[in-house]
A and B are shown apart, each in its own frame.
Chain A
């Protein structure tokens, strides 16, 4: 139970084993595990970065949507305004046209009326002349009293 040469031998065995374990078992495994932890950490970091990028992209999308919506509202407002303008223009033009038609019709009616009045006047004059001829056939000379009859007729039909 006392120390002897085995002690020296065991020191050699132990130190050799420490060296071999370090070189062939612990070293490679620790290296491997470090590499793996680094890989996992990198992966997690990449996942975080991806998440952040996604959040940023979503924010951007929301911004762009908002902008597009605002633009659409603007466009709709502008087109409604333009439509109202067009309508107004059309209504104005139609009103003008109608006025023109009414005016020309009125002029035509006036001209027709004047013409009719003229015709009527001359016819009434003729009729009156005939009537007067018949009434005063013998004693009245048509040519002598034409001026007198015309004066009566124009007085009588002056407002027709």
Chain B
């Protein structure tokens, strides 16, 4: 947090929570696109891709060093997590978990930049609003969570279609009621099961979004509350902001880990052999 940047702040916190939006159809709120979210996520993704290409050509089979060493520890960690949770081997899961973890961790780390820095730089180019951290935009966590959820459904149907369809209508109540009541409880079961399944992507996306969004709001609060305090307020703001930055960095890493581990867990549930 660089407090010199906060002098920009006018119009309160809400004024800083707008996206750089391209409206395609004014009447339909869905038909718009957050250019800042897209831009930053594509930049981060491209950076990762370029890093991958760069590293790929200097991989050595002997003792690793530097970037390779670091990436190997990440890969080894993800690999361990996945193989601990999975009853069967699926070559897609580990790269998916790896991407989830690294991508979210990187995007969350953008928060260490001063809160208004990128916004102000974008302002120089005539962009009115710019949100630098895409995980603060529900679209990114939701996109990842829904992708993961689609994969979960895909594997549920692919690996144990009968069992999954049965569990949709037969759980949790069927065994508790007499036979003639079963047709009555089936719709109730279906509703409960659908809620249970929908809760997965919802909780997954809102957990990440909520944490990162709240962190951003607290940055803004610190900035605005202490801005009026003169030199003392600015000095205090610097240290409070620094402390929150460190803590928020930790939260960002933690959220990346949680998203990754839940992805693995949901997918591993889909891979569990059906018990009869």
**Residues in chain A within 8 A of chain B (CB atoms):** 1-11, 13-18, 20-22, 24-30, 32-33, 35-36, 39
Contacts and interface: CB of A to CB of B under 8 A. Distances in A.
A26 to B, nearest CB: 4
Interface in B62-86: 68, 71-72, 75-76, 79
A15 B48 contact: no
B59 A28 contact: yes
Interface string B95-128: 1101100110000000000000000000000000
Nearest to B71: A29
A13 B144 CA distance: 10
The 6 closest A-B pairs by CB, nearest first: A10-B143, A22-B95, A25-B52, A6-B139, A26-B95, A24-B52
Contact of A22 (B34, B92, B140): B92
Nearest to B75: A29
B12 interface: no
Contacts, number: 122
A7 B147 CA distance: 11
Interface of B: 24, 29-34, 37-38, 41-42, 45, 48-49, 51-53, 55-56, 59, 61, 68, 71-72, 75-76, 79, 92, 94-96, 98-99, 102-103, 134, 137-140, 142-144, 146-147
Contacts of A24: 49, 52-53, 56
Nearest to B60: A32
A14 B103 contact: yes
Contact of A17 (B48, B71, B94): B48
A21 B106 CA distance: 14
B56 A4 contact: no
Given A13-B38, A20-B52, A29 B99 contact: no
A155 B28 CA distance: 183
